[in-house]
Structure 1
Amino acid sequence: MAARTRAANRYYSGPPSDHFDGTLFFNPDGRPPGRFTDLLRWQLSGGRSKWPTAFPSPYPQAKPEQRIKGKALRLTMVGHASLLIQTGGLNILTDPVWSERASPFAFAGPKRVNAPGIAFSDLPPIDLVLVSHNHYDHLDLATLKRLKESHGPRVLTPLGNDAIINRAAPGMRLSVHDWGDRLDVGAAAIHIEPTHHWSARGGRDRRMALWAGFVIEAPGGKVYFAGDTGFHGGANYRQMAEKHGGFRLAILPIGAYEPRWFMAPQHQNPEEAVQGMKLCNAAQAAGCHWGTFQLTDEPIEEPAQKLAEALAAEGILPERFRAMRPGEIWDVPQT
């Protein structure tokens, strides 16, 4: 059985669990990604909005301080799902992508329409990198290699993704974890938590590596980085509230959601993100996963507009949930 599992799954071999069937990972009580025929139907539908070739941020590139100590919490947007979290003396990057394209190819695929919000050379010393899953807009091997060479950080990632990273950056300090695991790093603890998503680097490795979100438990409060996720009826948000009590900050995806018939299981929309903020008891939220790479059909500015409408409908002050732009710096209030 173990030999057959290794042959079927090129990234991971382990015992079955409530989200691993012995060969592939899955979302408990959830929906799998669409079939290839569904993908073709979407791609041939002609519903994609035209994005500008450039969508510059209103903020200049940030030049972060070396360390933010104590209970202060500073968030700097790089772009898409790449953010710099500074708190408790730690510098943490989420899903870092400095490449021009979110693609296996340098000449084709989604191309960024704005520069990274921090020049790579201006990064402070990076202690920790959180990689939520292996899609190209989240796991960028070229950037991870640069980080290994210049910063030597520890990289936390869910099961199976280490096989991908090790091939490109052998010797990288990797910590590989399942949902529910905890790792202590300095004055903080990192929890690896479930999301409703999937994984693939090509057409033959679907769901061979796990996907996850992360909770950073730091002296100044808890930060939830949801990675990439469908709303899943709010189940995972409720679970986070039950387990962690609440959050000083939740970093939630608000883009790449149209068309809903195809994207809804794996990518939440802004209205669902607002409900997620409420369900997980987050005092503040930062919207990511929009405005840098065109992955889906919605217009480039629609996620921020829809977020503002959803917040107004719920009576939530707009400053509590920001649609972050590259270079934007937010000193998150204490709760």
Structure 2
Amino acid sequence: MILIKLLLSSITLLFFVGCAANPSSSLKAMDKDKSDHYKDGVFHNTADLPSKSVGDVLKILGRAAVGKEPNTQPNMVIPVQAISRTDLDNLSDDTLHIAKLGHSSILLKVYGEYWLLDPMFSERASPFQFLGPKRFHQPPISLEDLPPISKVLISHNHYDHLDKATVLALSSKTEQFLVPIGVDGNLTSWGISDDKITAFDWWQEQQTSKGLVAFTPSQHFSGRSLSDRDETLWGSWVIKTPTFSLYFSGDSGYFAGFKDIGNKYGPFDLTMVETGAYDKAWPYKHMRPEQSVQAHIDLKGKVMMPIHNCTFNLAFHPWNDPLDRVLAEAIKRDVNLSTPEFGQILSISDPTSKKRWWQKKY
């Protein structure tokens, strides 16, 4: 039984690092064939990336099964600031507020409207809720206590970013789901009404009552099993209000597209950039922290908030390595780094938190 669980855990890890086999196409989706980076039944990155051999896959499986990497689990209680509905309602409606909920999940209050980015509230980032990567901490607010949500923005179709249980719990209180092409097929198969879903290709925009939303490229992959690899698109999000602008990376390896996005939509008051789940075995699908800082610079960001860390163990590095390394690089490159506690609410006019909570000191 232990060996079976180790094997299943290893397979779960593969969903995140990009080693699953290519599938046959099965999902229905809006306008796939109209996308110039959709061919042969799958989506493609802007650059051709090396593929994994069977030997590469077996090596990763072996590392995951042995589990000898040190400090992948926290040796401290991760601080979480609880958020209540009253706290949110008391925030002003004349600006934009940001709260990290865990991993890459972000809650925004955008001039009175509540938006969620990649909401993930489940206990495990896994196709199985009885095993797989388990949360290091609980969300600062429960799904039940969340206010009505105007928009949910999804970056791509992986378990740690598109969580079925969370989506279903949010369906009755969410006005609109903004998703990459193909992910609309997932949501409709889960019972979400078509009129609540808008699917985006790269560089497509939508003008909202609060400002512009644009879906921009990333360098990654997608899939929820061994049979649907890259059938849905992946990407990042730009939010531009009349006064402020934000960038949300989703997951990505470092690529030239960050400069393109910065040139088209920058500068950004705040960039929320993936910093975690990297490894030498998958250098093109997730960034090292030093590359994350470079991405922020390419994007013409003013303040950088590292995301995608300290909630789940999805790689082999120490749990706090992403924040230690990104802080060192930010100091070296003179980048204004914001590292709030989970649940700490910041205003876009002052989005910097200097709390170094993962170091057990401030």
Same fold (TM over 0.5): yes
Instruction: Say if 2:152 and 2:174, in contact at 8 Å, map to a contact too.
Output: no
1:171-190 counterparts in 2 under 5 A?
171=193, 173-190=196-213
Give the stretch that moved more between structures: 111-120 or 201-210: 111-120
Specify the alignment match of 2:60 in structure 1. Answer: 42
Shift of 1:22: 4.3
- The answer to whether residue 331 in structure 2 is matched with residue 315 in structure 1 is no
Specify the alignment match of 2:190 in structure 1. Answer: 168
Shift of 1:333: 2.5
Give the stretch that moved more between structures: 129-138 or 170-179: 170-179
Matching residue's letter, 2:93: K
Instruction: Say if 2:253 and 2:285, in contact at 8 Å, map to a contact too.
Output: yes
Distance 2:275 2:175 in 1: 28
Seen in structure 2, the aligned counterparts of structure 1 residues 170 and 187 have a Cα distance that, compared at 3 Å, is closer
Instruction: Say if 2:202 and 2:216, in contact at 8 Å, map to a contact too.
Output: yes
- The answer to whether residue 164 in structure 2 is matched with residue 148 in structure 1 is no
SS of 1:323's equivalent in the other structure is coil
Distance 1:76 1:49 in 2: 30
Matching residue's letter, 2:186: I
Pairs aligned (count)? 321
Specify the alignment match of 1:328 in structure 2. Answer: 344
Q: Out of 281, 285, 288, which is 1:266 matched to?
A: 285
Specify the alignment match of 2:316 in structure 1. Answer: 297
What TM-score, normalized to structure 1? 0.89
Shift of 1:80: 0.3
Matching residue's letter, 2:232: A
Give the stretch that moved more between structures: 84-93 or 304-313: 84-93
SS of 1:175's equivalent in the other structure is strand
Shift of 1:35: 4.5
Q: Out of 252, 256, 270, which is 1:249 matched to?
A: 270
RMSD, aligned α-carbons: 2.2
Distance 1:32 1:182 in 2: 31
Seen in structure 2, the aligned counterparts of structure 1 residues 122 and 8 have a Cα distance that, compared at 3 Å, is closer
- The answer to whether residue 93 in structure 2 is matched with residue 69 in structure 1 is yes
Specify the alignment match of 1:116 in structure 2. Answer: 139
Specify the alignment match of 2:20 in structure 1. Answer: none
Specify the alignment match of 1:306 in structure 2. Answer: 325
Q: Out of 15, 19, 23, which is 2:41 matched to?
A: 23
Shift of 1:36: 4.9
Matching residue's letter, 1:246: P
Distance 2:73 2:331 in 1: 28
Matching residue's letter, 2:216: E
Instruction: Say if 1:61 and 1:119, in contact at 8 Å, map to a contact too.
Output: no
Distance 1:57 1:122 in 2: 21
Distance 2:286 2:32 in 1: 28
Matching residue's letter, 1:285: M
Shift of 1:221: 1.3
Instruction: Say if 1:30 and 1:196, in contact at 8 Å, map to a contact too.
Output: no
SS of 1:208's equivalent in the other structure is coil
Structure 1 unaligned residues grouped into runs of 5+:
1-6
Distance 2:170 2:267 in 1: 32
What TM-score, normalized to structure 2? 0.83
Specify the alignment match of 1:157 in structure 2. Answer: 179
Specify the alignment match of 2:356 in structure 1. Answer: none
Instruction: Say if 1:33 and 1:198, in contact at 8 Å, map to a contact too.
Output: no
